[in-house]
Structure 1
Amino acid sequence: MQYETLNLAFSGQGTSQVATVTLNRPDVRNAFNEVMIAELTAAFTALDTNDDVRAVVLAANGKAFCAGADLNWMKKMAGFSDAENRADALRLAAMLSAIYRCRKPVIARVNGDVYAGGMGLISACDIVVAVDTARFCLSEARLGLIPATIAPYVIRALGEQASRRYFATAEQFDSATALRLGLVSEAVSEAQLDTTVQQLAATLCANGPSAVRECKALVQDIAGRTLDTALIEDTAERIARVRAGAEGREGVASFLEKRAPAWRGDSA
């Protein structure tokens, strides 16, 4: 598929590929419009079912990672009816869900500033590696708006108390603060950015592909649940199923036999 606002590339071989989805509107600081929203949704939906892909990197061209919504698109939305605004917001929500629910782990490669809706993009990812010069801002309140559609992802990533502050103040904060709050997994120099992302992707590809998918689902399904009998039974059922599966049996056997597991064959 040809994309207007994205670049899509693959590295690696066989069933150990890493897909890189790159936002490609550097002239507007990779602000998203209806085309980018549709293309991101389509790209992540396709990657979710691509068995050759073990991990996905979400990157951006230019100096900024994402400035949020495109101003021309926002001007057009100002004339929308209530029904049109709801439909438009739901398309944005579907895009974020496609990233968050993608069964493959997603690494955000944050090369520069992240504002407004861009905060939703990185919050929907599993691992966020940012340059130490990046700035972050939930700027919606400055425009008389609220970060509603991105809120479920940002609050999970940033935490409730920090979200109370930064949603309302629209303050800008640096990568050191983002790292302390847990929004960013690693803050590195520009020279270290690609190496760090590549090392993380390689680490993910070395693990059992089914196990990685199950781990991602486990966190999403378990986080915030009450520790009750139903949860205990759920976790017991999950590990019993994985232990009895082909990948689980191969992983244990390869460890005991001191050899590489079969899933590393394409990347050995």
Structure 2
Amino acid sequence: MNASSPLLQRIKLERHAVARNAVIATVTLNRPALRNAFDDIAIVELTGAFRALSEDPQVRVVVLAAQGPAFCAGADLGYMQRMAGFSDAQNRADAMGLATMLNTIYSCSKPVIARVQGDAYAGGMGLVAAADIAIAAEGAQFCLSEARLGLLPATIAPYVIRAIGERAARRYFVSAERFDAAEALRLGLVHQLCPAETLDAVVDTIARAIAANGPQAVVECKQLVREIGGRAIDTDLLFDTAERIARVRGSDEGKAGIASFLGKYSPPWTAGE
């Protein structure tokens, strides 16, 4: 896939080279007139894009961005109208498609940075929570608005609860209150706020910092957090962590990284910068 592909109707996919055989990929929600609300087509495209990027050895990091003033307003009205006529089986299949899309972003082997330039509501907030890193413009607003429509944020719940904690989720799931970027930062939904005019520079700095690291080490680091977080610190965990670092130390990348550090030269994965 690429940005000019006629197969992409709802998103853009761009790749920017940062070193030899190394790129930063950007997936951009591209329905600004509809506040980047998603439908079944967008869900399929996002799922396919993140699966492909996860498996692409050249991709070091993925930026999830959006065109226009809003990041993502959740599901679009036309899509919701069609859903109202779905059978139970159709509703279950459609919901599973959304759940799969969110999990594909969350479990992408490459770090995902959400570039949140504007409002993120409902499923849009799920996209932010599924990313590994979220940087937001100071004017962005957030809302888990599902309860206003007699619905619930079920498919996004695993990621939002992990991001903001159960206590905050209890409030915002049931109240459907809007909250600002400062509150999103306090809750841990986003990692950093910045003026809108510096958002691209901040995201690019973080993406390039990730791309300068050992590519396999970055993949392993992301997996480490996902698999170790929340586990009891017991003998099994000690053996697990020891096995992980021993395996990586003995890998070609680990050996090359240590040699370049001791020899005071650039590691091979930054060649061409």
Q: TM-score range by the shorter chain?
A: over 0.9
In structure 2, C-alpha distance between the alignment counterparts of 1:232 and 1:192, rounded to whole Å: 42
**Are 2:107 and 1:101 aligned?**
yes
Matched, 1:165 2:196: no
Correspondent of 2:207 among 166, 182, 201: 201
Contact 1:59–1:108 under 8 Å retained in 2 = yes
**CA–CA distance in structure 2, aligned partners of residues 25 and 236 of structure 1:** 47
**TM-score, normalised on structure 2?**
0.96
| Separation (CA, whole Å) in 2 of partners of 1:226 and 1:143 | 39
Q: How does 1:207-246 map to 2 (within 5 A)?
A: 207-246=213-252
CA shift for structure 1 position 225: 1.5
Aligned partner of 1:266 in structure 2 is: 272
Number of the residue aligned with 1:38? 44
Cα offsets for 1:210-236 (capped at 9, x unmatched): 000000000011111222222221111
SS at structure 2 position matched to 1:152: helix
Matches within 5 A, 1:50-129: 50-129=56-135
Q: What CA distance in whole angstroms lies between the structure 2 residues aligned with 1:166 and 1:15?
A: 43
Residue 173 of structure 1 aligns to a residue whose secondary structure is: strand
Aligned counterparts of 2:147 and 2:212: Cα–Cα separation in 1:
43
TM-score, normalising length: structure 1: 0.98
CA–CA separation in structure 1 for the residues paired with 2:21 and 2:54: 14
Equivalent pairs counted in the alignment come to 267
Secondary structure of the residue that 2:26 maps to in structure 1?
strand
Contact 1:120–1:153 (CA under 8 A) maintained in structure 2: yes
CA RMSD of aligned residues (A): 0.8
Q: Secondary structure at the match of 2:236?
A: helix
1:4 equivalent in alignment to 2:9 = yes
- Partner residue in 1 for 2:183: 177
* TM-fit CA distance, 1:46: 0.5
Choose from 143, 148, 154 the match for 1:148.
Answer: 154
Determine helix, strand or coil for the equivalent of 1:107: strand
- Is the 1:16–1:266 contact (alpha carbons within 8 Å) kept by the matching residues of 2? no
Structure 2: distance between partners of 1:53 and 1:14:
11
**Structure 1 segments unaligned to the other structure (5+ residues):** none
Aligned to 1:188: 194
Provide the C-alpha distance between the structure 2 equivalents of 1:68 and 1:204, rounded to a whole number of angstroms: 29
Q: Which runs of 5+ in 2 are unaligned?
A: none
Quick one: which amino acid aligns to residue 262 of structure 1? Answer: P
- Tell me how far 1:159 sits from its aligned partner: 1.1
User: Does the CA-based 8 Å contact 1:69-1:117 persist in structure 2?
Assistant: yes
What whole-Å deviation, never above 9, does each CA across 1:192-222 have from its counterpart, x for those lacking one? Answer: 1000000001100110000000000000111
Identity %: 60
Structure 1 runs, 4 residues or longer, greater than 4 Å off: none
